[in-house]
Structure 1
Amino acid sequence: MKTLSTLLIAMLFNLSAHSQISGKLVSTGGEAVGFATVSILKNPDSSAVRSVLSDESGNFVLNGLPNGNYILKVSSLGYATWFSHSFVLNAAQPNYNAGIIILTAASKQLGEVLIRARKPLVQQLAGGLQVNVQSSLMAKGSSVLQVLQRSPGVVIDPQHSGISLNGKSGVMVMLDGKLLRLTTAQVSALLNGMSADDVDKIELLSTPPARYDADGNAGLINIVSKKNKKTGTSGSVSASAGYGKGEKGSTDLNLNHNSRKWSQRLSYSYYRSRSYALLQAEGTENVGIIGGQTAFHYNGESKPLSNYHGFGGGLDFRPDSAITIGGSVYYDITIDQNNNHNFGNYLLPDTNLVFDSQLAGNNHTRYLHPSLYLEQNISKDQKLNIDLDYFSHNSNGLTQIQSNFSNSLFGEIQRNVANANIKVGVVKLDYTNTFSKQLRLESGLKSTYTRSRSTAGIEKLVGDKWVNIGAGTSNDLGTKEFIGAAYTIINWQPDSLFNISAGARYEYSRNSTDQSLNAAYLIDRRLSKLFPSVFLTRKLNTSDELQLSYTERVTRPSFADLASYVSYNDPVSVFTGNPGLKPTITHNLKLAFNRGDYLFALMYSRDINPILGTQIMPGPTAGLVYLIPENADLQNNITFQATIPIKATPWWEMSYGFLGGVHHYEISYFPQLLKKTYFGYNLNFTESFKLPRNYALELSGYYNSSAYDSNYRSAGNGVVNFGFKKELSGQSGTLQLSVSDVFSTAIYRGQMGLLTTDAFNSKVRVNYNPESRSFPIIKLSYSRSLGSNNKASRKNSGTNDEQKRL
């Protein structure tokens, strides 16, 4: 890591040592052509290196280019695309002045242009970063959750199925702009079954604008699937097979047919993974249910098997150029088989209790998402979108536990029942009006209604009957939630260099329970609040840009966090919810600076009542340990983020990312007030090598420093991944080999009880070893495009930039 840090610093101080390209754009009439796209392409493969916009006088400058052989490309709406002759930048000729470039008016027919452009892995957005998934060799054969784990600022906790962004855990996940109102564990399971082959990009929005839901104090992660709008019939097929400590396999098929008026699409995905994990814990705690202060040693060996089937389809109709009507449906089935072996001992002053248990069970999950939409161009300046969505999530789980440990509340044979039924309806309307080149209005309304029913509990076998083991270990909960929202955003660009986007989102929410076995779980809560957002952007020159933003957000407790489940953990503890949880209100301030493709940001956030998961607390049953979410008092974060892409040679590209800062939190639910300030950071890197004969290599990895969460300290951890790709001749497809966690370094260590004393005087050390700790996960993947996709891509590539701008 010391070597990597030194390299990063050296790169920052040597950006200006590279070459420069400049010039001026004019029309045939001699008028300046402002805001045209000027791109640098490698010669001879025409892959994109970097691009800028010309200023209002038509001048452009591109800095920080490594030595190499290049082609200059200029494109602008209304003008024919212009290409230069090839030229060389080297030590003898570090600069290239293209002089005055004359652009001619575009004709109605554009000739065929072949450009093999590769998007940068990471790009800056107004509200955060964008990861272009298909720019990574590791995407093939990976799940979406695995791609997220390799994204800058994202940390996945495999032990608790947690997802954090920029050091904060309150992140909400969207799929194609649709918020997934599921628990963190349910979202992790859904993303772990989804193939990354179907994903175009992932937006990491730490400060989303007002058009997005205000949920998520850490921001939003928006997963955007691939979309094909090319005319004709096309598609893709991919398959992968692999092994870690268990078999892996996936297959993916996409078919599209587009005509002038109709578009149809079908997809199918299958994912299978047999995995492995080992949890080791030892320490001391005061557990009244087995006799008081005890020293324990505990091992939990897990061998889960997951099978996932996903089906998708869609139909769009364009009766004329102004209206598009469409609909889609997505359905998936996930079957998880649990096979756990837990063993250990509890040493009391006068006895040693030996613990040995087997857990076996199945969890069936079904997820359905139909949607309808209407897009209408009311005029050339006004656009209306209407979306109707319905989500249905059903899960049924039954786990049987057989144990020799009958000295506690639990019997020798128990079972854990967990059933959930969640239904969500969403109506959304968005309207945009472009009054002039300087002024644009965005506004919208949204209504979300959610009903859920959950039954959960732990039962023991008495004779031939299953009975509840006691108070506080079962629950039957029905819930309702309504959220109504309205937003308005004004975008004002007084000149070509300055832009202001100011908006606000008003949300009213009410969530309540309509039945429960426990009066403590009766909930009726309302929240009415205005969430402002302001974004100021200033172009310093053709390559540098400065942005300042302020946003407010909220994190509402999920129904699972509040009370909807009780599940078995070990003979002395259970997982459950907390009906007293409060929503988290977050204030975000961000200063961002871009120099070409180099991205930098300084962020400050303040959370009031941040929600912390899995805290050790007392509960209704005396002496039993309850693992529940709780509210801290506050949390402050000051973080710095940098993304640095480097093109060392035409065949070697690098990308380095850094996220680090100071975190401070205060907690008052312990016997004594806990205050903690610490520094934490995350590093990630990608090295891509383009080899002769269509071979390519990729090295990637990340390192997370040690961090603190409540009364728990996690040690640093990191992994290195490897990818190898071969593009087969004759458009026969792509073959790829990937190795995750090459050196088997993925281990998660932690210590509980270092900072203060909890209600059970817990002092615990934990080691969690995922599957790759035993052996790297190796996968071989094959993918191929089908139909007219390649041909259409070639004919349209010359106008892709203009189509995106339109």
Structure 2
Amino acid sequence: MLKKIVFLGCILSAAGSTYAQSVKINGKLQDTNHQAIEYAGVSILRLPDSVRVKGTLTDSLGNFSFSGIAKGKYFIKANFMGYKPYTGKPFNYDGNTTNMGALIMESQASQMLSTVTVVAQKPLIEQQIDKTVLNVENSILSEGNTALELLEKAPGVNVDHDGNVSLKGRSGTSVLINGKLTYLSGRELSNLLKGTNSSSISKIEVMSNPSSKYDAAGNGGIINIVMKKNTATGFNGSVTLNGGSSRKARYDSGATLNFRSEKLNAYGNYTYGYRGETEYLDFSRNFYDNGIASGKPDRTSFQDTKTDEPLHTHNFRAGVDYFLNDKNTLGFLINGNSGKYTHDSKTGNLLLDNTATTVISDALSHNYDKQSWESLTYNLNFVHKFNKEGYEIAADADYSSNSFTSLLNLDTKYKGVTGDYNDRPSFRKGYIPSTTDVYVGKIDYSQPFLKNGKLELGIKSSFVEADNNLSYDTLKNNQWVNDAGSSNYFRYNEQIHAGYLSVNKDLNSFSIQLGLRGEYTQTKGHQITSDSLVNRNYFQLFPSLFLTKAVNKDDKVQFAYSRRIERPGYGDLNPFRVFRDPFLFYQGNPFLKPELTHTLQLSHSIKGKYITAINYNYTKDVMNWVPGQIDSINTTFSTPLNLSSFVNYGISFTASTNITRWWSGSHFANLYRNEYKGNHQQGTLNNSMTSFSFNSQNTLRLGNGFSAEVSGLYHSKVVYGISSQKPFFVISSGIQKSLLNDMAVIKLMVNDIFQSKQLKRTTQYENIDMYTHINLDNRRAMLSFTYRFGNQNIKKRERTTGSEDVTERVKGG
């Protein structure tokens, strides 16, 4: 089947090459000496409302072109530092290729260059045809935050305490960094994003319904975190310092350096971050001897935990692009991150009888888990542009090496008759090493197709090898003895081979994009300790369809459909048992099946500012972390299971407002319903709820280089599997001042001013009757300073790599 898809793509590619080039509007920018102006911004605007239709950059010869422009009346605008803004004369476009000729830009006098006038700035939230973009690069609220915390500010995005990301109430959302996943487990990814400071982030792209060009993984959609890549001609860079405090101190610093010549482009950045954190967790659990959570419980456990969680992270990115000629570019880049994280907690567990007055046991546990990791990703990429405009082929090869180690010590003592915690001591230590190697290769090809059309096709293969060997020892008679019942050795191998074909066609006010992706998956999970082997082989097709109709110059309607898959994370398949204390543990499930989702969305846009979207999603075999209880030993655990189905549907509203000349904002509201169904333990699950979320970002331009931002978000009560979570809200604010001729910025922000993000979750099902309260360390004040130096006239070569479907699923233990 994969061969057929690739063969079909080659036939269509050859057929498409026989058609004429797409009609377009083209021209050239020159100065008064008739020298080309390279990499200048050029826009085409529609009359009579002067709405910007498309924008582009001139190439190294000053040429620019626009395709897919509807018939009508337009004019051209161009801007470039050191030149007066250019505004062209109005012209009528009849749908045929139009050459604007040479457009002349006049140089500004040198004395005028000492001041800079900002004529436009990207809105904080920008709605595009296939995604919503959160432009955080110039946002005050982004400073002092982490990448994980920034995700919460994206429209429709929610991040739970464990770092799991959901979009419009849908779980299974894939998180990419620069178009690729991160080769880390959920825990490790959370630590990486917590250790990535906002100063290195350019924007966050939210795609609720990606096309077939993207990997089929991610039932909840895709979120792409785009890092800054400032590759200007000559030498430039920036430095950033952040400092502040929550319950503990937080600080980070980073630097970016770039150099570009005619043949070479070299870039790199490095950030170091420290995040202190203290959280308070409270659990109350009722136990029933008859196995049904009703009536008066036989025993009740009250558990309280205080954590100290220091995190040190190092992140770097370095790359070089070599321009062989104007048609061929060869690039190499390396991404790296390493870190150390300590979970140091003390937990009290009080167990009372059914009268709630007699103490059965009173335990005090000390959990000290020291984690460290190192991840290195190497990418070699090549791009060839054919002589015919729009014809391009790109190839990527990736290798990623990941290692993770956890050293766990868990000590528990019980209160004796003397009132001291010295009775029945138990000691457990764990050594949890994990290594994961990932190899990925892909080739993408694109070309014009018919008139105002585009054809894209590609192939991709990935290979994953994961090795996890957990060893637990317990102290008996002053000697450490291996705990064979808890220790485990698990190895996992996976290969995925994919091919895709996508065709885009513009027909005046109507456009269509059809895509088909095929993926063959082969997995083998070997639990060596018990000599248990789970093999899976399957082939799936993932179609996608996008239809867009311009009703008039202001209104646009779009319909989108796609089928997607979410495969189990490697650690979720690993039947390791990880203890938080003697009465609470987590355990993977080697028999997890992938979940499959059908996604539909109908949206309406007015002037690109006001967007209404209706969405429906159906997921089969939805994966969900489900709590369970062993009442006989008063123990709770959590494990991932496949529930029968998950249905999510709702309506969302996005609005960009300009209330006054100095007050602008972006707002997002989502009304949705989640419905979970399935069989769990001895019962039938049917848990559903209608929920609401709202996000508002407001920017205030105060003059004299000052600006301020205020943001707010609210999440109502929501269900997740067999649990439900209570509402919460967050209010944040910040102010900034430009300094040193706009080359420096100082910012002060306060996140979660009222410490109102409290996660309160209730679970009542079968014999489970549990309440959880997590008091997050979410309120903090941060002061940041950023200074830019060198040439800031940027030309970017954005690179994504081939590893887009496997990386987030790598597990560390």
- Structure 1 length-normalised TM: 0.83
- Distance verdict in 2 for CA 1:450–1:393, change over 3 Å: same
SS in 1 for 2:187: helix
2-side partners of 1:749 and 1:228: how far apart? Answer: 42
Report the identity percentage. 24
The counterpart of 2:789, out of the listed 786, 790, 793, is 786
1:463-490 per-position Cα deviation (integer Å, ceiling 9, x unaligned) = 343234452x221111101000000001
The counterpart of 1:295, out of the listed 286, 296, 300, is 300
SS in 2 for 1:752: strand
SS in 1 for 2:151: helix
Alignment correspondent of 2:614: 602
2-side partners of 1:743 and 1:389: how far apart? Answer: 45
CA root-mean-square deviation: 3.2
2-side partners of 1:389 and 1:378: how far apart? Answer: 24
Deviation at 1:743, TM superposition (A): 1.2
Which segment is superposed worse, 727-736 or 480-489?
Answer: 727-736
The counterpart of 2:121, out of the listed 115, 118, 121, is 118
8 Å contact 2:376–2:400 — kept in the other structure? yes
Alignment correspondent of 1:443: 457
Alignment correspondent of 1:485: 498
Counterparts of 1:472-621 in structure 2, within 5 Å, are 473-493=486-506, 495-519=507-531, 521-596=532-607, 597-616=609-628
Deviation at 1:225, TM superposition (A): 1.5
Gaps of 5+ in 1: 1-24, 28-34, 42-48, 61-71, 86-97, 798-806
1-side partners of 2:519 and 2:677: how far apart? Answer: 28
Alignment correspondent of 1:398: 407
Deviation at 1:109, TM superposition (A): 5.4
1:605-640 per-position Cα deviation (integer Å, ceiling 9, x unaligned) = 000011001432669x98754310111111111121
8 Å contact 1:532–1:552 — kept in the other structure? yes
8 Å contact 1:416–1:568 — kept in the other structure? no
1:734-767 per-position Cα deviation (integer Å, ceiling 9, x unaligned) = 00001011111111111111xx31xxx2212211
The counterpart of 1:316, out of the listed 317, 321, 327, is 321
Deviation at 1:378, TM superposition (A): 2.2
8 Å contact 2:708–2:735 — kept in the other structure? yes
1-side partners of 2:247 and 2:150: how far apart? Answer: 20
Deviation at 1:296, TM superposition (A): 1.0
8 Å contact 2:693–2:716 — kept in the other structure? yes
The counterpart of 2:199, out of the listed 189, 197, 200, is 197
- Distance verdict in 2 for CA 1:731–1:439, change over 3 Å: closer
2-side partners of 1:659 and 1:238: how far apart? Answer: 35
Whether 2:766 is the aligned partner of 1:765: answer no
Deviation at 1:81, TM superposition (A): 6.9
Which segment is superposed worse, 265-274 or 559-568?
Answer: 559-568
SS in 2 for 1:191: helix
Q: Which amino acid aligns with 2:528?
A: S
8 Å contact 1:163–1:184 — kept in the other structure? no
1-side partners of 2:524 and 2:158: how far apart? Answer: 32
Q: Which amino acid aligns with 2:380?
A: L
1:164-206 per-position Cα deviation (integer Å, ceiling 9, x unaligned) = 1111221111111112343222211111111222222211111
Alignment correspondent of 2:807: none
Deviation at 1:126, TM superposition (A): 4.0
1:72-111 per-position Cα deviation (integer Å, ceiling 9, x unaligned) = 97469xxx975499xxxxxxxxxxxx9999x994536534
Q: Which amino acid aligns with 2:515?
A: G
Q: Which amino acid aligns with 1:435?
A: F
- Distance verdict in 2 for CA 1:389–1:781, change over 3 Å: same
2-side partners of 1:237 and 1:111: how far apart? Answer: 34
8 Å contact 2:267–2:318 — kept in the other structure? yes
1:396-419 per-position Cα deviation (integer Å, ceiling 9, x unaligned) = 111211211499xx9611123322
2-side partners of 1:117 and 1:564: how far apart? Answer: 54
Alignment correspondent of 2:436: 422
Whether 2:364 is the aligned partner of 1:362: answer no
8 Å contact 2:474–2:483 — kept in the other structure? yes
Counterparts of 1:87-102 in structure 2, within 5 Å, are none
8 Å contact 1:750–1:766 — kept in the other structure? yes
8 Å contact 1:294–1:346 — kept in the other structure? yes
The counterpart of 2:748, out of the listed 737, 743, 754, is 737
Whether 2:254 is the aligned partner of 1:252: answer yes
1-side partners of 2:193 and 2:538: how far apart? Answer: 30
1:301-327 per-position Cα deviation (integer Å, ceiling 9, x unaligned) = 111000011122111100110001000
Deviation at 1:336, TM superposition (A): 0.5
2-side partners of 1:428 and 1:505: how far apart? Answer: 14
The counterpart of 2:336, out of the listed 331, 336, 341, is 331
8 Å contact 2:629–2:768 — kept in the other structure? no
Alignment correspondent of 1:65: none
Alignment correspondent of 2:287: 285
8 Å contact 1:411–1:461 — kept in the other structure? no
- Distance verdict in 2 for CA 1:497–1:777, change over 3 Å: same
Alignment correspondent of 2:166: 164
8 Å contact 2:287–2:634 — kept in the other structure? no
Alignment correspondent of 2:181: 179
SS in 1 for 2:105: coil
Which segment is superposed worse, 197-206 or 425-434?
Answer: 197-206
- Distance verdict in 2 for CA 1:391–1:244, change over 3 Å: same
8 Å contact 2:362–2:415 — kept in the other structure? no
Alignment correspondent of 2:222: 220
Whether 2:275 is the aligned partner of 1:273: answer yes
Deviation at 1:515, TM superposition (A): 4.8
1-side partners of 2:414 and 2:259: how far apart? Answer: 61
1:253-277 per-position Cα deviation (integer Å, ceiling 9, x unaligned) = 0000111110001211011011010
1:232-273 per-position Cα deviation (integer Å, ceiling 9, x unaligned) = 111111110001110000111000011111000121101101
2-side partners of 1:273 and 1:766: how far apart? Answer: 25
8 Å contact 1:512–1:525 — kept in the other structure? yes
SS in 2 for 1:437: coil
- Distance verdict in 2 for CA 1:40–1:195, change over 3 Å: farther
The structure, 1 or 2, with the larger RCO (C-alpha pairs under 8 Å, 6+ apart) is 2
- Distance verdict in 2 for CA 1:780–1:623, change over 3 Å: closer
- Distance verdict in 2 for CA 1:50–1:242, change over 3 Å: farther
2-side partners of 1:168 and 1:279: how far apart? Answer: 26
2-side partners of 1:676 and 1:332: how far apart? Answer: 40
SS in 1 for 2:659: strand
Which segment is superposed worse, 524-533 or 534-543?
Answer: 534-543
- Distance verdict in 2 for CA 1:73–1:59, change over 3 Å: closer
SS in 2 for 1:738: strand
8 Å contact 1:52–1:543 — kept in the other structure? no
- Distance verdict in 2 for CA 1:40–1:574, change over 3 Å: farther
2-side partners of 1:217 and 1:581: how far apart? Answer: 16
Q: Which amino acid aligns with 2:458?
A: G
SS in 2 for 1:189: helix
The counterpart of 1:384, out of the listed 393, 402, 410, is 393
- Distance verdict in 2 for CA 1:704–1:112, change over 3 Å: farther
8 Å contact 2:26–2:99 — kept in the other structure? no
- Runs of 4+, deviation exceeding 6 Å: 98-101
- Distance verdict in 2 for CA 1:500–1:56, change over 3 Å: closer
8 Å contact 2:726–2:760 — kept in the other structure? yes
Alignment correspondent of 1:692: 703
